Structure 1
Amino acid sequence: MNKRMPPANGKVAIILDPSFGEKLTELAKAQPVWTWDSPLNRTAVQVLWYDSLLPYQVTAFDAAKATSAEEAFIYILDTVDQHHPAWSQLLVIGAEPTAAVRAALAEYGAGSIEETTTGFIFERPAG
């Protein structure tokens, strides 16, 4: 059985871009990755699951009722927190830090948001 490492420095990635695909590989080498299930992402995830040498887990999640990346992020946030309760940084690709996203994140403690060209990074104090 392949042992998975805890989040590197408390980092977890959440991918909401349905065409992220093979780029998942690089992220999975550095931290756990949760990706919104799509045909392209599913194919990449299945390839990564086959490669049991990756140190971090890659999880595809189905947010079938979500009609936007914002809704999918809010949907999966609690599950990510349950699986990685010590996270201190979320790298979010494919969603913007809208008011609803910021409100959802506020439930997990005070933190800062840095917008990026592909999404945002949310950091909260470790511990």
Structure 2
Amino acid sequence: MKSVALILDPEFGQRVESVAREMPVWVLASRSNDPAIEHARSLFGGHDITSFFPPRTGDRKATSAQALYDIDEHHGELSSSHPYEELLIFGAAPADVSPEAMEELGLEPAGARKDAFVLRKRDGADYTTR
């Protein structure tokens, strides 16, 4: 199963490296995360480590929605022969994630890990328009 990590914690820091060892990572840009992102990119040749800035509103749901759409655009069925099937979201609670984006992208809650919660693509879910 192909997984992608979304890190919304601005203080995630050096933990980026351990997550990037397992899967592609999208990381919220911040003073704490930026050096860790650059370090992880140097270790892994820059592959599959993407940083992003939150929208100007600073709203966590808007930030999550933007990231979900971007991840789906880059790792979904329209752009990958092996599209992602689940997202692991670090540094946020399920209530921080846009329910509208989840619905539109065919994502549903699928449990939690010690440090993240999981969203999984519904069978047959296909993002075609936004």
Pairwise same-fold verdict (TM > 0.5): yes
Deviation at 1:99, TM superposition (A): 7.9
- SS of the aligned residue for 2:118 comes to strand
| Equivalent pair of 1:70/1:95 in contact (CA under 8 Å) | no
Deviation at 1:109, TM superposition (A): 1.5
- SS of the aligned residue for 2:50 comes to strand
Change (3 A) 1:99 1:48: closer
2:87 is aligned, of 87, 90, 102, to 90
TM-score, normalised to structure 2, is 0.77
Q: How many residues align?
A: 118
Change (3 A) 1:31 1:57: same
1:17 is aligned, of 3, 6, 9, to 9
The residue that corresponds to 1:81 in the other structure is: 72
Change (3 A) 1:40 1:52: same
CA distance, structure 1, for counterparts of residue 97 and residue 20 of structure 2:
27
TM-score, normalised to structure 1, is 0.79
- SS of the aligned residue for 1:24 comes to helix
Q: Which sections of structure 1, spanning at least 5 residues, go unmatched? A: 1-8
* Aligned residue type for 1:24: V
Q: Which sections of structure 2, spanning at least 5 residues, go unmatched? A: 77-82, 125-130
CA distance, structure 2, for counterparts of residue 99 and residue 24 of structure 1:
20
Deviation at 1:98, TM superposition (A): 2.2
Instruction: Work out the percentage of aligned pairs sharing the same amino acid.
Output: 26
| Equivalent pair of 1:97/1:115 in contact (CA under 8 Å) | no
| Equivalent pair of 2:5/2:87 in contact (CA under 8 Å) | yes
The residue that corresponds to 2:100 in the other structure is: 103
The residue that corresponds to 1:72 in the other structure is: 63
* Aligned residue type for 2:4: V
1:100-121: CA deviation from partner (whole Å, max 9, x where unpaired) = 6222111111533425564421
Equivalent residues in 2 for 1:33-48 (5 A)?
A: 33-48=25-40
